[in-house]
Chain A
Amino acid sequence: MNFEIDPTAPHSIVRRDFLKKLALGTAAALAAGEPRLLSAATGVIQPAPTADACILLWMGGGMAAPDTFDPKLYRPFKPGLAIKDTMSTFPDIETVVSGLRISQGLENIAKVMDRGTLIRSHIQPDLGSILHSRHQYHWHTGYVPPQTVACPHLGAWMAKVLGPRNPVIPPFINIGQRLEGVGEQEELKAFTTAGFFGSEFGPMNLPFPEAAAQSVRPPEGMDPGRFSSRYEQFKRLVKAGTQTSFVSDYQQESMLRSMENAHRLLNAKERSAFDINLEPKENLAVYDTGRFGRGCLLARRLVEAGARFVEVTTEYVPFLNWDTHANGHTTAADMKKQIDAPIDRLILDLEARGLLDRTLVILASEFSRDMMMEGKPGSNAADQTTEAVDVMTELKHYGLHRHFTAGSSVLMFGGGMKKGLVHGATSPDRPSVTIEKPVSVIDLHATILTAMGISPKTAYDVEKRPFYATADGVGVPVREIFA
């Protein structure tokens, strides 16, 4: 069976636009010596998209599947409990999908599990000693660092190949991750980029969702009148200039066009999408569980306004949030409070607006966690828990404190995915490795890209070598989860 569509079949309007854009993009890119799309010669056929926009809900730091979407044997905490005797630190609860049980604390998400697919068999490579940012680089680009070229982020692929949905809204928006003043910030910056595609396709970073409106406003202390008149005067000044004949027209035009695009956004009505305080109070309150919750609201508003790809993260900060090296149970309870209501509301809001069918919402993390095992069976990864005990004596010992790469959970809502499906499984016994239908990072990327209408074999030429949307072009979409 060929999953890619027949090129002779009629296509949607979106697709025709897309091809037109590709043709134009290629001609321009060729001339500019930019990364060149290598599709014509190798016969890559772009699939028909099942989604136009994508929201990635990133559980930075390693979300423990047994304490969230893949509950296992549960024993409540009591001093003297051996860590080998429990796999989850929360009881399971039922969901709206018959027979599907997830972890306590996710009662709201449990109500919308019939809108999406739960993958319980997502696996990561064994990279030896575990570094979060390295696995995050891999997850976000599909390539394990180091690499010889700077790899584009998943969102940059969508920005590059598909372009913006609305020309005034940047196609790739990254919400919630600070890139200054946090540990491993340089490692985070290394993949929060369009890489060799160039910054046109890179992220607009909005680390504080509540302050996002400021990033599309005139600078602090400058009123809008002065801001627009400064730009108007600038245009007059450039026009009046007689000394411009020493720079090629295309160079000047490209620069002036970018200035024009920027000011168009800064003056556009869509600007209001960045301001979450314009949301009705009742709805804002549901989302307002913290920065992540507010980020979900901002993501919804931006997708409504025409964003292509939005990532919202619980934020990766070493040893914080999902990065539980100690006190895992207490922290996980808190994290679930942050994500449960906003994710539920995000799905329902998108649905109510008729957007869910064409918006792919993904929840994922760089790996899972386990109470006993670091890495996966057979790995030589060094143990990194800060509370190494065999028998718990204090509550801080109760939690999934080791990094586990052999089975994590991914949620996929809307955007052409099946509804109420569970794909793959992990072992009921420890170690809870994937025992059915493993989905690698590269295949998950192939799935996401295919849903967005990008073939996993799409390649660009960089330094005269092909660089593929999934490494070596070999990612295969998980066909079973498409509706």
Chain B
Amino acid sequence: MIRPHRLLFTAAALALSVCPAWAGVDFSHQIVPILRKHCADCHMGEKKKGGFSLNDRVALLKGSENGPVAVPGKAGGSRLLELVLSTDPDEQMPPKGARLTGDETELLKAWIADGLPWEEGFTFSKPSYEPPLRPRRPELPPVVDGRENPVDRFIDKYFSDRKLPRPAEVDDGAFLRRASMDLIGLPPAPAELEAFVKDSDPGKRARLAGSLLARDTDYAEHWLTFWNDHLRNDYAGTGFITGGRSQISQWLYRALVTNMPYDEFARELVAPPKDDSAGFGAGIKWRGEVSAGQTVEIQFSQSISQTFLGINMKCASCHDSFIDRWKLTDAYGLAAIFSDKPMELYRCDKPTGKSAVASWVFPELGNVDAAASRPERLNQLAALLTHKENGRFSRTLVNRLWHRLMGRGLVYPPDSMGMQPWDADLLDFLGADFQDHGYDVKRTLVLIAGSQAYQMRAATLARDADDKGFVFTGPRAKRLTAEQFVDAVWAITGTAPAKPDAPIQRGKPAPAGAAELQGQWIWQPLGAQQPPPGETLAFRRTWTLGGKPVRAGAVVTVDNEYDLYVNGARIAGDKDWQTIDSVPLAGTLKPGDNEIVIVGKNAGSGPNLAAVYFDAAATLEDGGRSRLVSDTDWQWTATLPDAAGKFPPGTVWAQASEINGPWTANKGGEIKSLLAAVESGPQPMVRAALMKADFLMTTLGRPNRDQIVTVRPNDLTTLEAIDLANGPVLAGLMDKGAENILARNFPTPEACIQWLYESTLCRRPDAAELSIAKESMGGHLTVQGISDLLWMLLMTPEFQYVR
């Protein structure tokens, strides 16, 4: 039993310890509300009664037409305080309405005594720019020099209006690398470079974007990074261990690989039709209690505003924003749409006694019905967000795309869509064009990347170039994201991991009506009991091919574990039946008879169902096709093969039996689409965006996704450079990668050097570079020489930036 205690006093002291009064005056939280409440009508914005404006500190210090009203540090004799305290109706301030309370005057006094601290850059005046909400469809400027792409028509006008020279174009190699890195996140292979340079078609550059974007999987697995950042989705992170957060990985992947229209995309995130897209809106719920400004409802308000509208609702989650027009009621209005119970408005974590009313930020387009049910409200919000008159929604996204491709947004930073764009007509055109063409993200990417403007050489600038206002003089070089860097290293060195961490099914989902699965789930015939844990059986079947296979692959899984042997060689294995494996077979199959053996093992703690599923397809040289699936034609034995996949003489085989279980219902779709992919060729390299962040990626700026991150750091830091110089992850990749490169058997060191330059920088070395590289490489090719030169190339700014 706990005795009553002096605890109450302690608790009171604790509450005080967060009261700002202890530590001098807090301008933003204590003074701004007083000034706004009592002085705004006459002394803010355009109003300047008595010649006195309170818009900013300079105006305050200047005082009125009668001289200064407040001197920093001198509260005694301050005209401002005199007027506020005065009871003379002719001079008291404010002249009408409620007088200041005792607390309020004390705060003003303390503020003056403190030296009138003012938030830097803060002003009470209305912002000079208010962005349009509705879409605008500006007329296209005339075509100049046959440059017809609408982007170029705007940019050419921009240049001619400002009498700026049109920047030169980059060469083919730099252009190919730029487009490839920007659109699919991979460096072009030397063969692609050669083909592109050789192609004499003048339309090849304009066409490149389209052909890169047609690589659905590459596109999806590159832009996954962008969207994981914007939707703070990851495969491990804060909140997952306590079940306070859920992934949207599979939903997101499918949305990207199918190029889901962006309005539909946003609607499914805001008002999820199924659980698989709910994680973004639901946010992160920490175990225990959180401050009023960080509940999941407020997170919803902040996330929706930031990602889809470029609105910073973080200030307004706590109090009316000092920096833009958003108010506490706006933040809570969005939160209340999401909330499943009535919400009280908290200001600076203190209850106000007022209730939040579900509403959204642009009521001029309509509003949600606060009385409707939660799912209805979310649907209404989704509809308003993607309303055809909501130009802000499209502008926010096209600006983000422009930022990714051109290095700096038309509005910058891209989360501050209230700022003035440097070319409003171009932004509005792109937004409306995007909307008018079905919110097709790839189409807008082609529009931008197909322009001549995108082919301009990157602007080279001094660090402070933008201080006096941004001027567009060409695209900006962009630092590679961690994922682009790692993908490039993996692609060049052949060291990508075998399996993704992301719980997703790669590639395009099988089209509806794709061939039904033909295989059966097999095991030995069931006895009275289900198979015991640890039961291990071997299954076999001969696959006879009528010719040389040019493409072949199998989809295989076993509840619970398996090893797969083809013609005596173990080629795959897995301990988790939930992971369906696709195994390329073209190199291991031969014309004629092929022996397929699967050793399957049951797991668990008691008897439970076990089964093998195998489904393989091969395309032969003559175009003929062959398929082999697990069924009751397979044989099983309890005798297990040796390391070479051989069975002892006298092994007894019996017919396998079909087992009915829940597998096909759960995994059938995935198997179908993997099979479609495996038949069409080998799986593409596993990409960094599909992996959990490792030390190397963290080093290179992949963020912890507790918060939405829309702009990655642009500078390499010293600690990062130490990791690049001696970190074990990159060093390991260099060692293994150099062996792989050596195994390519280049005829001369020069050939290898050229290949390395083409692979990393998309160009050949010039004479001086070649001579240094040769010297570093030594007289003949070695793992060490290759590893060191590759490292040097990866460390160059030219590699680490998309220029």
Q: Which residues of A contact B (CB under 8 A)?
A: 28, 30-33, 36, 38, 40-43, 123, 125-131, 134, 144-150, 170, 180, 183-184, 186-187, 189-190, 193, 198-200, 202, 204, 215-222, 226-227, 229-231, 233-234, 236-238, 240-252, 254-256, 258-259, 261-263, 265-266, 373, 377-378, 381, 406, 427, 429-431, 433-435, 438, 440, 442-443, 456-457, 461, 463-466, 471-476
Contact = CB atoms under 8 A, between A and B. Distances in A.
B796 A261 contact: no
B17 A442 contact: yes
B797 A256 contact: yes
Nearest to A126: B289
Given A251-B797, A465-B314, A198 B717 contact: yes
Given A32-B715, A434-B10, A464-B323, A476 B23 contact: yes
A241 B773 CA distance: 11
Contacts of A190: 238, 704, 706
B722 A266 contact: yes
Interface in B236-295: 236-238, 240-242, 284, 286-291, 293-294
B5 A199 contact: no
Closest 7 A/B residue pairs (Cβ) = A219-B731, A262-B721, A200-B717, A41-B120, A246-B803, A128-B288, A128-B289
B745 interface: no
Interface of B: 2-3, 5-7, 10-11, 13-14, 17-20, 22-24, 26-29, 57, 114-115, 117-121, 170, 174, 236-238, 240-242, 284, 286-291, 293-294, 299, 302, 312, 314-315, 317, 323, 413, 415-416, 457-464, 467, 476-477, 479, 695, 699, 701, 703-704, 706-707, 713-722, 724-728, 731, 735, 761, 763, 766, 768-769, 772-773, 775-776, 784, 788, 791-793, 795-798, 800-801, 803
Contact of B728 (A216, A220, A427): A220
A243 B11 CA distance: 66
A456 B792 CA distance: 44
A474 B22 contact: yes
Given A146-B299, A247-B797, A255-B716, A38 B174 contact: no
15 contacts: A41-B120, A127-B289, A144-B291, A148-B294, A186-B238, A199-B701, A199-B713, A247-B798, A259-B721, A259-B725, A262-B725, A266-B725, A381-B288, A433-B10, A466-B119
Given A430-B2, A440-B14, A234 B795 contact: yes
A472 B20 contact: yes
B720 A258 contact: yes
Contacts of A128: 287-289
B23 A252 contact: no
A186 B720 contact: no
Given A217-B726, A443-B17, A38 B120 contact: yes
A200 B719 contact: yes
B238 A254 contact: no
Given A221-B735, A231-B725, A246-B174, 7 more contacts: A41-B118, A131-B286, A240-B766, A240-B772, A248-B460, A259-B721, A259-B795
Contacts of B763: 243
A438 B10 contact: yes
B57 A41 contact: yes
Contacts of A193: 704
B702 to A, nearest CB: 11
B722 A262 contact: yes
Most chain B beta carbons < 10 A, residue from A248, A251, A255, A443: A251
Contacts of B10: 123, 406, 433-435, 438
A180 B692 CA distance: 12
B20 A237 contact: no
Most chain A beta carbons < 10 A, residue from B416, B699, B768: B768
Contact of A129 (B237, B288, B775, B788): B288
A189 B694 CA distance: 12
Contact of B6 (A186, A246, A250, A435): A435
A238 B291 CA distance: 51
Contacts of B726: 215-219, 227, 266
A5 B291 CA distance: 34
Nearest to B174: A246
Contacts of B768: 240, 242
Nearest to A167: B718
B788 A233 contact: yes
B288 A134 contact: yes
Contact of B704 (A189, A236, A258): A189
Given A247-B477, A255-B800, A230 B792 contact: yes
Nearest to B773: A237
A401 B768 CA distance: 69
Contacts of A244: 797-798
Contacts of B121: 41, 461, 464
Given A190-B704, A472-B20, A438 B725 contact: no
Contacts of B288: 127-131, 134, 381
B287 A377 contact: no
Contacts of B721: 258-259, 261-263
Most chain B beta carbons < 10 A, residue from A40, A198, A247: A247
A454 to B, nearest CB: 14
Nearest to B323: A464
B57 A237 contact: no
B631 to A, nearest CB: 43
A40 B120 contact: yes
B713 A473 contact: no
Contacts of B731: 219-220, 222
B718 A43 contact: no
B769 A237 contact: yes
Contact of B460 (A204, A247, A471): A247
Given A199-B719, A442-B17, A465 B323 contact: yes
Contacts of A433: 5, 7, 10
Given A242-B766, A246-B457, A186 B717 contact: no
A250 B289 contact: no
B477 A31 contact: no
A150 B20 contact: no
A43 B117 contact: yes
B463 A32 contact: yes
Most chain B beta carbons < 10 A, residue from A128, A230, A242: A230
Nearest to B240: A186
B791 A230 contact: yes
B775 to A, nearest CB: 8
Contacts of A222: 731
Contact of B287 (A131, A221, A242, A262): A131
A325 B242 CA distance: 18
Contacts of B241: 183-184, 186-187
A248 B475 CA distance: 11
B287 A474 contact: no
Contact of A463 (B22, B237, B312, B795): B312
B116 to A, nearest CB: 8
A200 B773 CA distance: 31
Nearest to B706: A190
Contacts of A252: 797
Contacts of B735: 221
B803 A38 contact: no
A98 B476 CA distance: 68
A456 B120 CA distance: 18
B770 to A, nearest CB: 10
B743 to A, nearest CB: 19
Given A241-B798, A434-B10, A466-B28, A219 B23 contact: no
Contacts of A145: 238, 286, 294, 706
B796 A246 contact: no
Nearest to B703: A150
A237 B796 contact: yes
Contact of A150 (B477, B707, B717): B707
A246 B291 contact: no
A150 B325 CA distance: 24
B706 A42 contact: no
A181 B174 CA distance: 41
